[in-house]
Amino acid sequence: MTQKTDKIAIVGAGALGGHVGAYLTREGHDVTLIDAWPEHVEHMRAHGLTLDGATKPECFTQAINAIHITDLQKTAHGRLFDFAFVAVKSYDTVWATHMIKNYLTPDGFCISLQNGINEERMASVVGWGKTVGCIASTIAVELDRPGHINRNVKLGGTERMIFSVGEVHGRITPRAEKLSEMLACIDSSEVTTNLWGKRWSKLMVNCMRNPVSAATGRGGNANDRDDRTRRLAVRLAGEAGRIGVALGYDLGLVYKIDPELLMAAEQGDSDAMAQCEEKLLANTTFRNDDNRPSMGQDMQKGRRTEIDYLNGLVVEKAAELGLPVPANEGIAEVVRQIERGEICAGPDAVAHL
């Protein structure tokens, strides 16, 4: 049974961290949200955190215990945290884990609630025994202004698994079961024995959705309805799938698509491509047209993207294996060029890929 006496930190009160924090707080858990955006923290302190979703129960405002990063040191005078969700960008993983580790109990641990594959970075700070993974799939949340988070897809419920909690060694443990039970108040949740396979499968989703949005300046549905970007997305996922298989990962469904189908399509199987395209078009029905993957949000807001930790990771691993991934290599460079201001985001930016 979940212990509501646990003291929980969430490092990074952005879209996902804030979303999870609001639900856990409403459920009666002792949660402290720690964030670097002053206006966001001050708004949560004064007015709470507002969530908006597709159904009435998802729309609420929750009083939140939110603190600035600079206030974390004051918590040392009280009870330490039993565990901490780290929900920052991949490139901030190491410093964020360093920051929170000295505010954990001796048995405390960290959970990576992030895109990308950051467990190794986290373990480099707190050790493998204090590192847990948590994958959040097809949740599509956006922090659009201080104190306000939109969720732009329907609840997963019995149709889609949203949260998968796993230990790095693959065994089911009481703490993994506790975390999964806790997250079930938000949406569907499970304990997985295949953390690494699920991580890479989620990476495939990120690789096919995030950079295309960042490069084109469009939302997910607009890109899926465009023949060129829809097929580019399939190729990006198929390449990433080939690398995942070469690395020995046990892959699962990728955006409701069999990874074997994506890999076949990327290798030139026209029937497989048609089936993948059909599924991508069908997927536009469970999210609204405002949905914009996180990298697209970052580009729109002028923030650094995670391109080096998503498609860049695929390129890095492919180079180690001596395998080609031209689509991932190409779109990673396009996103970097846009970030540097060398070209403008738009559908023409990916026309050559």
Q: Would you tell me the crossing angle of helices 259-266 and 195-216 to the nearest 10 degrees?
A: 50
Q: What is the pTM of this model?
A: 0.93
Whole-number Å distance between alpha carbons of 93 and 84: 12
Whole-number Å distance between alpha carbons of 315 and 325: 6
Whole-number Å distance between alpha carbons of 327 and 239: 8
Q: Which residue has the tokens 């330490």?
A: 80
Nearest 5 degrees, angle CA 200-CA 203-CA 209?
150
Which helix H or strand E contains 34, and what residues bound it?
A: strand 30-35
Whole-number Å distance between alpha carbons of 285 and 263: 24
Question: Quick check: helix, strand or coil at residue 343?
Answer: coil
pLDDT tens for the chain, residues 1 to 353: 456 899 999 999 999 999 999 999 999 999 999 999 999 999 999 999 999 998 999 999 999 999 999 999 999 899 999 999 999 999 999 999 999 999 999 999 999 999 999 999 999 999 999 999 999 998 889 999 999 999 988 888 888 899 999 999 999 999 999 999 999 999 999 999 999 999 999 999 999 999 999 999 998 899 999 999 999 999 999 999 999 999 999 999 998 899 999 999 999 999 999 999 999 999 887 777 777 889 999 999 999 999 999 999 999 999 999 999 999 999 999 999 999 999 999 999 999 99
- For residue 13, the model assigns a pLDDT of 97
281 half-sphere exposure, CB direction, 13 A CA radius = 11
Domains of the chain: 7-193 (3.40.50.720), 198-350 (1.10.1040.10)
Nearest 5 degrees, angle CA 29-CA 196-CA 314?
120
- For residue 158, the model assigns a pLDDT of 82
- Answer for the pair 136, 6: CB distance below 8 angstroms, yes or no: no
Output Rg (C-alpha) for the chain, integer angstroms.
20
Q: Which residue has the tokens 């001796």?
A: 106
Whole-number Å distance between alpha carbons of 9 and 124: 20
CB atoms within 10 A of CB 144: 14
What is the per-residue pLDDT across 44-53, written as a single tens digit (0 to 9) for each?
999 999 999 9
Which tokens in the block code for residue 176? Answer: 């993994």
